[in-house]
Structure 1
């Protein structure tokens, strides 16, 4: 079952269960996917978003909510921070398991070997390889500095 179907199935189940908070988050996910579908329709005759695109959307949504949690906690709004954490939990149900630090290091080393990277100029190739294989499984913001350390 692809991600879009999993989200729709969870959405229907949340409606049946009358789980309003979960339902609201699932509707946000669905809306984000449909927005990308609409944006893609006009260009290159593509049919819409793929599972990889959906993983990227979910990763972005998770990151936004984590930033909101930090902001709400700093402002003393713990009720809003808890709501954001609940949304993160719902979104993460659809994301693959995150790689551990050791697994991330191994993936970086493998990507460097595959593209035969010699300098920092090859960083784009390495990132492209990692994104193709590990979208949704690692934080690419944290991976960049690790790659730079290995190449310098």
Structure 2
């Protein structure tokens, strides 16, 4: 009792809510605060839906990640449409929001990190043939949720198996 929790913020949800608090204290009407409020509202909406389906804890981190990915995709489309119609300032605003949203998404594995992850999975699964590629890809996606891009990972697995 009397001690404060000093554990690091680990989930995407916690990072977003902490960033929202900071953004609102710095500039409550700024684009960062407005964007994060939209995300928080969408997360609460997903929580209500999850609770209706019997998940009392609300939506999980994977669902929040998917939500952010959808919001980024929506802004990409909007920015392109605004560019085509000559509304440059609106397109720039959409791109700013997109950058804010992307900052909360896990960064995809690339280069040596991807090669190391692939080697570990191939060794752990004792995969030796191209026939094992599906198992390796599934395991990569399980170990690194949201961080595996199918194309580069598939090429890396193929190189490791051949």
Please identify the structure whose Cα radius of gyration is greater: 2
1:27-68 CA-to-partner distances (Å, cap 9, x unmatched) read: 111112112111111224442122232222212222222222
Q: How far is the alpha carbon of 1:19 from its aligned partner?
A: 4.4
Kept in 1, the 8 Å contact 2:51–2:58? The answer is yes
1:10 equivalent in alignment to 2:40: no
Q: Which runs of 5+ in 1 are unaligned?
A: none
In 2, distance between residues paired with 1:95 and 1:19? 23
Higher RCO (C-alpha under 8 Å, 6+ residues apart): 1
Kept in 1, the 8 Å contact 2:79–2:91? The answer is yes
RMSD: 3.3
Query: Equivalent residue for 2:6?
Result: none
Write the mapping of 1:1-152 to structure 2, written as runs, cut at 5 A: 1=9, 2-16=11-25, 17-100=27-110, 103-104=113-114, 123=134, 128-139=138-149
In 1, distance between residues paired with 2:119 and 2:80? 32
User: Structure 1-normalised TM-score?
Assistant: 0.70
In 2, distance between residues paired with 1:19 and 1:110? 46
Q: How far is the alpha carbon of 1:90 from its aligned partner?
A: 1.0
Alignment coverage as a number of residue pairs: 150
Greater Cα offset, 109-118 or 47-56: 109-118
User: Structure 2-normalised TM-score?
Assistant: 0.67
In 1, distance between residues paired with 2:152 and 2:46? 26
* Higher share of residues assigned helix: 1
